[in-house]
Amino acid sequence: MKINIHTLIGVSVILLLISCKQSKKNNDLINKEKSTEVRFDKALGAAKFNSVIDGEEAKLYWIKNKDIVVAFTNYGARIVGLWVPDKNGNMTDVVVGFDTAEGFKNSTEPYFGAAIGRVGNRIAKGKFKLEGETYTISINNGENSLHGGFKGFQDVIWNVEQPNRNTLAFRYISPDMEEGFPGALTTKVTYSVTPNQEIVMEYDASTDKTTVVNLTNHAFFNLNGELGGTILNHDVQIYANEYTPVDAGLIPTGKLEAVEGTPFDFTTSHKIGEQIGAKNIQLEYGGGYDHNFVLNGTQKSGMNHVATIIGDKSGIVMDVVSEEPGVQFYSGNFMEGENTFKSGAKDEYRTAFALETQHFPDAPNQSNFPSIELKPGEMYHTISKYKFSISQ
């Protein structure tokens, strides 16, 4: 077969142009990511952040891609900050936190951004029974136990692995009877970012003795940014037809009550502040919203659709999905302006909210709630995802 030399040259030129175009695209992407790294590493630097806590090194870590940047510390396996584009394309930090590890250690609010365990939320009177034996755990919230006791997972240094720029894995072995919980619990929390502008939180645990486990993350969000002010004008939809009402100590009564006709009805989107001041005994007990919502099984991406939240100023949308049956919605009721965040903003009253995916509070003492028992030979595994986009 005879090949025309002019045709061959033409094809070569086209291939060269395509190759150059692709190379430029790749270089632009690399340069954009490098620019992002420089910008955020300067704003939150390891030299200032790193320190020694309880004799161990607390360090700053990053995961990122071109559309999402997340900073972490191994002190509490916690999120330090999370940057995503707002409606104008400006990278906006939507998770409040501090610019030093000591800031988290010394904060009047110990849970900012932290991995929570062994048991997230409250256990009544700090007591529960397992296999006929009564266990007494640390009481650190009135007459109840909250978020694993005084030295929960938020107050320990975790081991860290970083297999790639998009993933961080934190590991901690909680010894038998730490804070009163039975069994040596081996825990792994893996955070990753995806090209879909998601942060994925994956939790794994195993035990050598029957115990209880309910892991979550306590990121405090403001979708208008750390300097965004009140969260009361955020629009929220929670995919739950019921919630678990509580007593004055915020312990569930054991009942599931319909949200319909109450200030807890977020089955359609409305502002956080719309009914937060309503005359309602549950709102009085919580000082606002601090309640577990029972997810109704609405599916998204093969998991329970938990909530959709929109920042009123930024246009940032956060969609939460999870394998968990419930979510604790907390409206920043106990924020008192006593701590200064990395942006210089104070933690003023209701300037951040939390959505903690979870099993229900006080589950070990509530036989009608989904169990949180974990036995030797079993694996605890659950995933939650927080996806960011722009409102249309």
Catalytic residues: 218, 356
Torsion of CA 180, 182, 183, 187, to 10 degrees: -60
* Per-residue exposure over 230-253, b if at least 16 CB sit within 10 Å of its own CB, e if not: bbbbbbbbbbbbbbbbbeeebbbe
What's the CA gap between 287 and 281, in Å, rounded? 10
Q: Is omega for the bond preceding 118 within 30 degrees of 0, making it cis?
A: yes
CA angle 73, 107, 69 (to 5 degrees): 35
- How distant, in Å, are the alpha carbons of 43, 58, 220, 365 from that of 46? 10, 10, 22, 43
The residues, ordered by sequence, that sit 6+ positions from 300 with a Cβ below 8 Å of its Cβ are: 319, 321
Minimal CA–CA distance to 174: which of 124, 213, 146?
A: 213
Q: Which helix (H) or strand (E) holds 61?
A: strand 60-64
Tokens found for residue 226: 């750390």
Residues constituting the chain = 392
Burial of 64 (0-12, 13-18, 19+ CB in 10 A): middle
What's the CA gap between 212 and 181, in Å, rounded? 8
What's the CA gap between 36 and 282, in Å, rounded? 44
What's the CA gap between 122 and 323, in Å, rounded? 20
Beta bridge partners of 327: 293, 357
Residue 72 three-state SS? strand
Minimal CA–CA distance to 286: which of 353, 341, 331?
A: 331
Half-sphere exposure (Cβ direction) of 191: Cα atoms closer than 13 Å: 29
Minimal CA–CA distance to 357: which of 254, 240, 212, 260?
A: 240
